[in-house]
Structure 1
């Protein structure tokens, strides 16, 4: 399927994720766990006698270069999730997909502030910075999507999703140091077909999906159109407005036109449009942690001064009291043209694409019902253009090759706005010793903190521009040195150039640009133009051996780079409240990756067990950090000297009969800062007067002196659970000509840190989620009831600390229990 070549034809690793055959092929795909065989058509499992012994499952196969290849023979850690499994588990976006993949992490406080990680690597945990590079490549039908926020659309008419773990830079157009997610939609068909799916559930959940494909000119021209509409009521109640927030309101459409110019030359023109207008995203009171700020400047005293209390101190009561607008509207889409020309010994591929992303947010960034920060928004517009050419050998010669060229340009324009309210002075400034903790009296006025006019209306208008150009030449060989033993070296030459502009104009409530020290300490004017450019060479080599047709082993070493970045969220300030220009850029990450893998099937291929062990040393790791300034809302980028991520993974499945199958995946991940001696401090070591010279900082959580920085060497990295699992099973019984089935899918994550520097108050406890489904299917019809998060597990997706070291910790809770039903029908 020409429109669906998501990466360079992977001749060298025997991995192919697409087909160049224009008409749909019955491609077998493994379920999220690597073993259950499904087809492209939902609900096509046929009833069989209860005592039937299943034949050997069909090979888990994807096709490209007009030949089939078994995914089990691919010498890398790879998982394929079929469209059927996505529908059955309700995984209709990247956030839901992570529940099926233990080594995949997705973090999002809103669509713009989203990050996709694999094995804990990819993007730094924390708020997004426009100048950061992604370490996990996200591909939609072969087109690289330049930022995680633009990949948060609903999956529409998906055939399968492939998750590849580890560096992929010598085979992908864009360099990817941590892995890749490959979304493949269904291709146009020369046989008329249609699909329809409708779901409904509690909280007014409604989701409708439909697609249709047909020939326009027999064997020459075919079209496919797909649409999706999702809506859901809110799961959090805002007592101030009386509305339920965290709503979903999504629409997606995709069209494809396939032209088979000759038997050897085909083109696919594709376009998609996605609109999301949810009433989200809110974080609110989770807990309070002691800091080193004076007690009359910590949360309890500040709240008492305003006679303020949150509507609940139990975050799972799901109530908040927003006093600012809330929105997360985004629009995204693009067009692509993919061509394939089979010239006999090789196939030439071209992928041309243009995409855009519009982000129009509104937030309550003080996380309370008080008018502290009344506006904090960064509406953003992105466009990207990419062109990829590649040539890959056909057939199974002893020496296979792939070579490619990739060009990419991305432009982002952001108009940021932050406005302080009448409560900001008291909340952010020092009221002085004459004002007792908890006192609401501010007469006589002894400090600017007791004068609301000092910060009320203080406004920072930020104009941010970013231009990112990337060019790469890459290639990989696959040499069968002797029978069943392959040597697969790869090489990449990469050039990146980034330029940006950050201009922050700050005015007082009266419109003046003349600021006093207190005002400048909260919102400081900044103007700088960061630049970064560099060439780098990366490469990898894989040795693989096929012991038997069902036992395969491999060993990989990769030296990879993630491009340097520029800070485009404002810089930290020096003692005079001037921006520190040396922090305007961050150095490239350098990755040494080692991996050993074993892929096995036995018991007539009814049992699959795949193992992988990996070790990554990353130097100059790009981290998102914060500092002790009172008014800093967003973090900035910095380099950690050395981090290490290592672990082991397993994927397994067992199908003892045609009636029953079971799977289990797991990962152990050990991720630490090996050397980061000058990191920002956690909340309990922040907020006090900075210690100098021989002064000794106060104990954690004790008001007094704070360290200028903290040595977090040896501490755990944020966002990474040491243990994570996904598991499930399905049992069916014949009923008439069809089946009644009961399915279960579960996942577990152990606790993880939600702060760049480890904090005793910023851990998210481990949690498990359980999903059930019960239904009936026959041929092209499937109806089932489902319940997700069946035991109503209370858990946070992330925690954040309120700026200013007040001690307030806010959280974003995961979805509560949901239930409903789905009907699918194919024609």
Structure 2
């Protein structure tokens, strides 16, 4: 009966999406569906011609619902989830159930690459920012190592920001929302600087009050205060050469990020559970109260500069060079004992990462027997962290410690992908990437209480060959099918967790992915429908699992993962002559552990529950952070109200079925399915010089969490905490947009 209910729920959800309808295609004001251009294969192509599973989020969708954070992507693209708790260092995207999130981020990267204007970011935490002046977001699902290489074993999230305009333009957007007095303001100025130069300058600021109440002293925790700027300069100094300079800076200073009690054990301990209950806190999925006495802060900076030059060679070839430098700095601290006692008030870290990247590639013209993209890539990154952790009541070695971690990664690669056009309709796809990666790490620990020290260091070099093979066939001018097999790779590293004296070796992650896809356009019905089926096996899957301790720490284990399923995206204009667009997407993902007999036990797990020798066998169990069904439904309607006014109505729905939201698998950490509803009503001038909107996010006030974990110092078994995001409540606001 349970399986039958789940099957019916998934079927009904799919029918709802197909009938009503994410954000995969641009909106059109006419009687046709606009084409979408993407750069998923390092060149500009129609989305319908790309033999990959690509979801596209447009700037119009982000603006309609006042969405401006990378965390919003999980509610716009089915099959994408994330961990975002306890600060940026524990941030990570999961695609099709595959992802890595760990505090050992000095050496271990996420499985989903985040690319900003062609530059890959070497740290997952640096992606935790806002989304200003965005042209589009492309989510490439499945291994993308052939062209994107580094840390793209699960997929790629590629953000493309606006280009400078040929004519002078200026925009100003401001919004206010309740609860927590959320304020946002963004300004963009762009235009020409003579005949051979164009510029763009954008700035923004975002603020809101905290949404977690601290009963100990009345503080409002988990607030937001951030802002940044971006500048672009495009030059065409000579014919056939264009150069783009980009510089950006973003900073966040917040009292973030704290969890709340979800469940208590059968015999609550003195700290923190009993004291929290005595203070009036009611543990549960709706709990937005905490009871701590220590400091809570998160100060983050992310900035960088890049230069991209494109030169048109003979016979239509293009030579591209992208040179970039980026810096990510995080200073965070938590009162981690969930109580007003000083059990672990001091748990602070300073984290700094710097990277230099260089990509050089050549792109051939299309239309001949062979067209290709080929190039070379270089990455040099260094990470340094200084951590302080003090357990004043525990006189055991290295419970109180000062730890310095240093890690460096050098990645060299040559790559290429070619299409062999055997006929006008049939193409063969061949791609490869050869990688050499060097990793070094050093850990220095000191116990200031007992005067102890320990040091560990390690280094290694890995060589890998990634590849992609496939075929693509045009059945008609409007229907294309493809079949591909891809071998991916994500480099290994070392577990730098400060609770471990050594540097355990983490092996590389190697996925093999099979895909079948169909891309269809139905002009007479004003309909686009795309389908993709996939099957992936991941050897050496790098999973971060919480070891119950004491003290509880998150370690990185190499297991085996496997995921299979299908995805669809559609856009439909059901009524000719009416500016009404239905858009939607959905995913069915069956993500499971492969051979993983040595997985860690969950807190309090008994031998009868499968814990033998501090290990459990998770072979063929479902992977966490992966709902079986997820989807998006959306509707955009626009009409002329008067000769001078236009009105618009946007409706969005995101759903997902139940999923475990903790490592390792624990039956107590399964979150039920939920549905989020967004809506917006706008009124604008016919010349688009102004627009006022009223919007609502999470209209039905659904409460949900991003992650569950065993409560530090809590009673085991049975004590769990949760991280509830700000968006897990109804948010209602108004915005105004001005264009000059």
TM over 0.5: yes
Post-superposition CA distance 1:636-671 (Å, at most 9, x none):
21211x221111111122211323222221111111
Change (3 A) 1:556 1:706: closer
Within 5 A, what are the aligned runs for 1:740-819?
740-777=647-684, 778-780=686-688, 781-803=690-712, 806-807=715-716, 808-815=719-726, 816-819=729-732
Give, in whole Å, the separation in 1 of the partners of 2:186 and 2:511: 41
- TM-score after normalising by structure 1: 0.82
Q: How many residues align?
A: 707
Within 5 A, what are the aligned runs for 1:495-506?
495-506=436-447
- TM-score after normalising by structure 2: 0.91
> Which residue of 584, 588, 593 corresponds with 2:504?
584
Give, in whole Å, the separation in 1 of the partners of 2:531 and 2:110: 27
> Does residue 34 of structure 1 match 2:10?
no
> Does residue 460 of structure 1 match 2:401?
yes
Give, in whole Å, the separation in 2 of the partners of 1:381 and 1:654: 47
> Does residue 530 of structure 1 match 2:458?
yes
Change (3 A) 1:723 1:289: farther
Counterpart for residue 624 of structure 2: 718
Give, in whole Å, the separation in 2 of the partners of 1:64 and 1:679: 36
Runs of 5+ consecutive residues of structure 1 not aligned to the other structure: 1-30, 39-44, 46-53, 291-297, 426-453, 515-524, 573-578, 687-696
Change (3 A) 1:311 1:344: farther
* 1:700 Cα deviation from its structure 2 partner: 4.8
* Contact 2:33-2:528 at 8 Å conserved across structures: no
Post-superposition CA distance 1:366-417 (Å, at most 9, x none):
2233321111122101110000000011242221011110000111110001
Secondary structure at 1:256 match in 2: strand
Counterpart for residue 731 of structure 1: 637
Give, in whole Å, the separation in 1 of the partners of 2:120 and 2:509: 20
> Does residue 147 of structure 1 match 2:123?
yes
* Contact 1:475-1:491 at 8 Å conserved across structures: yes
> Does residue 74 of structure 1 match 2:44?
no
Change (3 A) 1:66 1:420: closer
Secondary structure at 1:726 match in 2: strand
Secondary structure at 2:565 match in 1: strand
Counterpart for residue 656 of structure 1: 574
* Contact 1:269-1:338 at 8 Å conserved across structures: yes
> Does residue 312 of structure 1 match 2:243?
no
> Does residue 476 of structure 1 match 2:428?
no
* 1:311 Cα deviation from its structure 2 partner: 3.5
Counterpart for residue 522 of structure 2: 602
Change (3 A) 1:607 1:80: same
Secondary structure at 1:487 match in 2: strand
> Does residue 638 of structure 1 match 2:557?
yes
Give, in whole Å, the separation in 1 of the partners of 2:326 and 2:565: 36
Change (3 A) 1:589 1:462: same
* 1:58 Cα deviation from its structure 2 partner: 3.0
* 1:719 Cα deviation from its structure 2 partner: 1.1
Give, in whole Å, the separation in 2 of the partners of 1:457 and 1:174: 35
* Contact 1:419-1:458 at 8 Å conserved across structures: yes
RMSD: 2.4
Secondary structure at 2:32 match in 1: coil
> Does residue 560 of structure 1 match 2:488?
yes
* 1:310 Cα deviation from its structure 2 partner: 5.3
Counterpart for residue 485 of structure 1: 426
Higher-Rg member (1/2)? 1
* Contact 1:476-1:489 at 8 Å conserved across structures: yes
Change (3 A) 1:548 1:568: same
Secondary structure at 1:171 match in 2: helix
> Which residue of 369, 394, 411 corresponds with 2:365?
394
> Does residue 542 of structure 1 match 2:470?
yes
* Contact 1:65-1:395 at 8 Å conserved across structures: no
* Contact 1:532-1:564 at 8 Å conserved across structures: no
Give, in whole Å, the separation in 1 of the partners of 2:617 and 2:305: 47
